Amino acid sequence: MAFATLGVAVAVGAAEGGWEAEGRAAVQRIRASTPAKGPARNVILFVGDGMGVSTVTAARILEGQLRGRPGEENLLSFERLPHTALAKTYNTNQQVPDSAGTMTALVTGRKTRAGVLSIDESVARGDHRAAAAHPLPTLFEQAEVRGLRTGIVTTARVTHATPAACYAHSPDRNWEDDAKLPAPARADGFPDLARQLIEFDAGDGLEVVLGGGRAHFLPIEHADPEYPEQTGLRRDGRDLIEAWRERSPASATVWSRDQLEALELAEVDHLLGLFEPSHMRWEAHRGTDPAGEPSLAEMTETAIRLLQRGPSGFVLMVEGGRIDHGHHASSAYLALHDTIAFAEAVERALALVDLDDTLVVVTADHSHVLTIAGYPTRGNPILGLVVTNDARGESSAEPVRDLSGLPYTTLGYGNGPGYTGASDQQPEGPKHFPHRPSHASGIRAGRPDLSETDTRAPDFLQESAIPMQSETHGGEDVAIYAGGPGAELFRGVQEQSYVYHAIVDALGWTSQPSDGD
């Protein structure tokens, strides 16, 4: 199904003055008081999915403690970038957002509804006919039309909401393969997300895509190369991985770390790496993968090295996708270790690029309901029970107790599956969410006694105030960290859609490609 071309004007949104006008005006206000630097040649947008400020703080402390230090004094790699701002994350129809609407804001400059991908807010979720008439041009489409190279790296499925917003236009984030399409959309030939990735035709298409989600690209008759007992999910008979290889003689596909490391990048112009049928493993579990999975830092390095070969610059998005999933499971251990891996990917990127010509922006799409509380003493294990200070201001010998006489952890969640405080749960791998810890199915009155529980164990679930099958997102602002040309534009409290407009300004794009830019 053909979408409107990038040069076609899209109706102004329902926001006051329109999201584009508001975003451009905000950039102009800050630009007027900021010394201009040369335009950026390259842009790397790092998105820590669900990486709210409390997640950054807790991960900062954990990383420091893993290095044998108290932790509070530590800084994650991206916290050393010189410019910061805050972004308001609400969707046009939700106070607390989802990843589809928020990522759309980041890569199109327009806020939209929850659950939809790079279409405007006039389209109801699930309305495929209206969606086809109301796409929002993305940063990646515009970069390709201008001759830049483009790439997407994620630890989630490459068809998941955050990466999909970069290349797809869909009224429902869940339409990841043709089997997920409702009958009317399938009958009309509406393209699922995996198909939209393969058929992305702006410029010469995405140069590099690395992440999970193999099953959405393989037909149901096709056995998975890593897990032969599993098959693909597509019912249209198409092998989209083979379709990628057919793009050009220099198109390559890989599905293991060894294959990725063996690539001669000088001989590759388009690279697709799909390392799991669904999401890639959490960083804490990555070493148990049968075929071996690359780290987020390793995938980021591969992407940058391939994209740097272009003559006109590049735009790359890197997502730490499983930070979000760890939080949804009420597992701070998993979420924080993935946040540290995300910071390592930023550090790797900063070592490979020159901030004189590359804008690096690090942010989150939304937050989570993770809290840090209880007056723990300095250097107290961030995943541990709260040990506070005595009357003299010195560390107490024993954990502090609540009014019922029970100890509690520094980290907790406002809601989620950890309501029972179950600490004896072992990781399991249900097909819809592999490598996720199980959650308690029952609810009991009162808190558990954690006195003899190892709350720093990988399978411990932090307690939640409200019982839910899956912990929810948080609605507070998220931080933006930036360095390089245009980074000075990131300051103050901005709409999330501002990020796109600041990036476009940093690149020196003053008009749409159809206007002669």
Q: What is the DSSP string of 299-365?
A: HHHHHHHHHTTSSS-EEEEEEETHHHHHHHTT-HHHHHHHHHHHHHHHHHHHHHS-TTTEEEEEEES
Name beta bridge partners: 209.
Answer: 152, 272
Helix (H, G, I), strand (E, B) or coil at 469: coil
The three state secondary structure string of 186-234 is: HHCCCCCHHHHHHCCCCCCCCCEEEEECHHHHCECCCECCCCCCCECCE
Q: Is 99 a catalytic residue?
A: yes
Q: Rounded to the nearest 10 degrees, what angle do helices 498-507 and 19-32 cross at?
A: 60
DSSP 432: T
Q: What are the residues whose beta carbons fall under 8 Å from the beta carbon of 437, sequence distance 6 or more?
A: 329, 331, 334, 425, 426, 427, 428, 459, 461
Q: What is the pLDDT of residue 437?
A: 39
Burial of residue 218 (number of CB atoms within 10 Å: 0-12, 13-18, 19+): buried
* Contact predicate 513/7, CB 8 Å: yes
Tokens of 11: 């109706």
Tokens representing 217 are 């690209």
Q: Could you give the angle at the alpha carbon of 416 between the alpha carbons of 414 and 421, nearest 5°?
A: 95
The predicted pLDDT at position 430 comes to 33
Q: Which residues contact 472 (CB under 8 A, 6 or more apart)?
A: 96, 368, 369, 414, 415, 416
pLDDT score of 443: 54
Residue 180, Cβ neighbours under 10 Å: how many? 19
- What is the amino acid identity at position 255? W
Q: Identify the pLDDT of residue 307.
A: 98
Cα 385 from chain centroid (whole Å): 30
What is the identity of the amino acid at 50?
G
Question: Regarding the domain delimited by 38-370+472-511, which CATH topology (the fold level of the hierarchy) does it fall under?
Answer: Alkaline Phosphatase, subunit A (3.40.720)
The pairing of strands 370-372 and 411-416 is antiparallel
**Annotated domain spans of the chain:** 38-370+472-511
What number of H helices and E strands is found in the chain? 14, 17
How many whole angstroms separate alpha carbon 221 and alpha carbon 442? 38
Phi, psi of 426 (to 5 degrees): -105, 150
Q: Can you give the pLDDT at residue 439? A: 40
DSSP state of 54: H
Question: What is the sign, positive or negative, of the torsion defined by CA atoms of 439, 443, 446, 452?
Answer: negative
Q: What pLDDT was estimated at residue 95?
A: 98
pLDDT at 7: 36
The per-residue DSSP string of 144-181 comes to HHTT-EEEEEEEEETTSHHHHHHH--BS-TT--SGGGS
Question: Which are the contacts of 4, defined by CB distance < 8 A and separation ≥ 6?
Answer: 10, 133, 135
Please tell me the predicted confidence (pLDDT) of residue 24.
Answer: 83
Catalytic residue among 99, 170, 330, 331: 99
pLDDT per position in the chain (517 positions), as tens?
A: 444 433 333 333 444 458 888 888 888 887 776 766 779 999 999 999 999 999 999 999 999 999 999 999 999 999 999 999 999 999 999 999 999 999 999 999 999 999 999 999 999 999 999 999 999 999 999 999 999 999 999 999 999 999 999 999 999 999 999 999 999 999 999 999 999 999 999 999 999 999 999 999 999 999 999 999 999 999 999 999 999 999 889 999 999 999 999 999 999 999 999 999 999 999 999 999 999 999 999 999 999 999 999 899 999 999 999 999 999 999 999 999 999 999 999 999 999 999 999 999 999 999 999 999 999 999 999 999 999 999 999 999 899 999 999 999 999 999 999 886 444 443 333 333 333 334 444 555 678 999 999 999 999 999 999 999 999 999 999 999 999 999 999 999 999 999 999 999 999 997 554 433 4
